[in-house]
Structure 1
Amino acid sequence: MSCSIFILIFEPFEIENQTGEWYVDLIIFSLGIIFFLSILLIEFLVPKVIPKLFENWNFGKAILWYAWVILFVGAVMFTYKSYLGGFRDFTWMEYFSVLGRILIIGITVSFFTLGVISYLNRQRFSLISSNENYKIKAPNSKSIRLNLNNVMYIVSDDNYVDIHLNADGKREKIVFRSSLKNIESQIVTSLTPIYRCHRRHLINIKFFEIKKNTSRNVKIQLINYDDEIPVSKQYADLIVSLLQVRP
C-alpha cells in the first residue's frame, strides 16, 4: 500500500498517468499491490513451509535471504509489467531494470515506514526474532534449543548458567554447562530482545520493569515476580531507555 501511494504521488522512473484516465491510476496503484502481495507470500509462506531455514538466524543468512527476496519480487513485478505491456519488453535487460527500480523504491519506502514505526515504538524491533528456536551449543555439553520468547533471564553460576524460562505462565529453570559469554554470542543480536545488563546476567527486556533508578544505582525487577536483577553502570543508560519506551 505504501509503495502504491509512493508511486502515484512521486511518479518515479516516469511511472505516471499521461492519459488522465482513472483506470490508468488504478493500474499504477496495482503495481504496489502486487509488490506487497509478492513480499507477503515469500516472507510468511516460506518460513512456515521451511522453518529450519530460519533457525540460528544471523547477518549472513539475512543478506542471502533478502537478496533472494529482491530477485523473487523482481521476477513477479517483471512478469506482471510484461503482461500489462503485452510482453513486448520481455528481456533480461528489462528484468534487471525492474530489479533496480524495485530496489530503489523498496529501500526508500522501507526506510520511511520503518523510521515512522521505530519512532512510535522502537522496542518492538527487538522482538522480531523472539519466536525463533535457537540451538545453543557449548563445549562438552549436549546442545539445547531455546525459544527466546520464553527466556526471562540467564544468570552465570561459575561454569554453568541458570536459564529461567516462562512458558504459558509456568516457570522453569534449565541448568546448562556453559559460560555466559558463549550464550551471549549465540542469542544476542540486534533483532533479539536479549540484552546483557550485568557481568553475570542476560535479560529479556519484555519481562522486566524498572525497580530503582538513581544516579548511583539501577535495579530491575521481573514483572509479577520478586526476582531483582542488578544493572551495571556501563549498561544502565541502555537498559533504562529500553524499558522506558516499552509499550
Structure 2
Amino acid sequence: MNDWAKLKDILKEESTLLSRKEKIYFVILVGCFVFLFLLFFQPFGVNNYNSKETITLEFLLAMLLMWMVVSLLLAFNEFLIFPMVVKQPTRGKMLSWIIWSMLWLGSGVFLFYNYLGAWHDFRLSSYFEFLANIGALSLFPLGGLFLYLKIRELRKALELDHPYTYRAGEDEFLLVFTAENQKDHFTLPLKLLLFIESDDNYVSIHHLQDARVTKTLFRKSLKSIQEEALHPALLRCHRSYLINLTHLQQIHGNRNKLKVFLNHVKDPIPVSRQYMDSLFALVSQSSQIG
C-alpha cells in the first residue's frame, strides 16, 4: 500500500518539458532515425521481405515519404495536440502522453503504409502488430530523450545560479555556537555567516563584519557543528567545510570535481562525492528551507 502511495506521489510530481526549439530538433532527429533504421535494417518486412535487401529507388522514395509522414505526425502531435491536452504537465500525464503518442504514430504509419500498398494489409491483427513494432522502435528515441533530459537537468544543477529563498524573519535568525568546554559561546546572524572551515581541534568561522570578510577561531569540531543542525541552510560539503546556502552563488564542475562559489568569497570551495547528493537535494528544495 505504501509503495502504491509513493507511486501516486511520483506520478503527481511536475515533469520536465522540452522547449519549442528542442521539440523541433526532436521531431527532426526522430524522423531521421526512423528513415535510416528502416532503410538499412529493413525490419518488419518494409521491403516486401526482399531476401537480397537491395535498396531500390522505389524503396528509397517510400522511406523518404515515411520520414515525412513520421515527422508531420510528430509535429502535429507535439505542437498542436499537446498544448490543448496537457495544461499542467506531471509525470503521470507525460506517461499517458507517451502512450498516446505511440498510438497516434502507429495508427498514422499503419494507414500510410496501407495507402502505399493499396490497402493490402488493412486488418485488425496487422494494426496491433504495427503498434507493437512502433512501440519497440520508439524505445530508441525515447531512451535518447530521457538521457538528454537527465544530462540537461544535471548541467542545469551544475552551472546555473542557485539563490536561496528567504522566509519571513529569516534574515535575523541567530546561530549560537557553543565551545567544547560548554562555557564559551559565539553568536552570529545567519545572514552574516559564509562558511566554516575545520582547523585541527578548532574551526575557522568565516563571516561578514562591517561589510568585510573576517574569520573567528573557535574551539569546536566541524562534525559537532554539523550534528547540532543549527539551521537547514548550513550544509556540510566536504570533510573540511560547512557552507551557508544563503550565500550560495553557483555550483560548477561535475561529479569528479565539483566546487561551489559563495557570495563575498573569492576562492571556490570543494565538494566531496559523499555530500553531492545532499547538496543537490537541498538546492532543488531551497524554497522549502527554513
Query: What TM-score does the superposition give when structure 1 sets the normalisation length?
Result: 0.51
Distance change >3 Å, CA 49–CA 15, structure 1 → 2:
same
Distance 1:159 1:69 in 2: 48
Q: Match of 1:68? A: 100
Distance change >3 Å, CA 27–CA 231, structure 1 → 2:
same
Q: Could you list the per-position Cα deviations for residues 78-109 of structure 1 after superposition, in whole angstroms to 9, with x for gaps in the alignment?
A: 11011111123222211111111111112134
Instruction: Return the offset for 1:239.
Output: 6.3
Q: Match of 2:126? A: 94
Which one has the largest radius of gyration? 2
User: Which residue identity is paired with 1:98?
Assistant: F
* Alignment counterpart, residue 219 of structure 1, candidates 260, 276, 280: 260
Q: Could you list the per-position Cα deviations for residues 30-78 of structure 1 after superposition, in whole angstroms to 9, with x for gaps in the alignment?
A: 223322221121112223445xx241x3221111111111111111111
Q: CA RMSD in A?
A: 4.8
Distance change >3 Å, CA 109–CA 155, structure 1 → 2:
closer
Answering whether residue 50 of structure 2 is matched by residue 10 of structure 1, we say no
Q: Match of 1:200? A: 233
Q: Match of 1:153? A: 163
Q: Match of 1:236? A: 276
Query: Superposition pairs for residues 16-55 of structure 1, below 5 Å?
Result: 16=47, 18=50, 21-50=56-85, 53-55=86-88
Answering whether residue 111 of structure 2 is matched by residue 83 of structure 1, we say no
Instruction: Return the offset for 1:126.
Output: 6.0
Distance 1:218 1:20 in 2: 53
Query: What TM-score does the superposition give when structure 2 sets the normalisation length?
Result: 0.44
User: Which residue identity is paired with 2:163?
Assistant: Y
Is the CA contact 2:107–2:127 (under 8 Å) kept in the aligned structure 1?
Answer: yes
Aligned residues: 170
Is the CA contact 1:210–1:219 (under 8 Å) kept in the aligned structure 2?
Answer: yes
Instruction: Return the offset for 1:14.
Output: 2.5
Distance change >3 Å, CA 15–CA 157, structure 1 → 2:
same
Q: Which runs of 5+ in 1 are unaligned?
A: 129-149, 161-197, 241-247
Q: Secondary structure at the match of 1:155?
A: coil
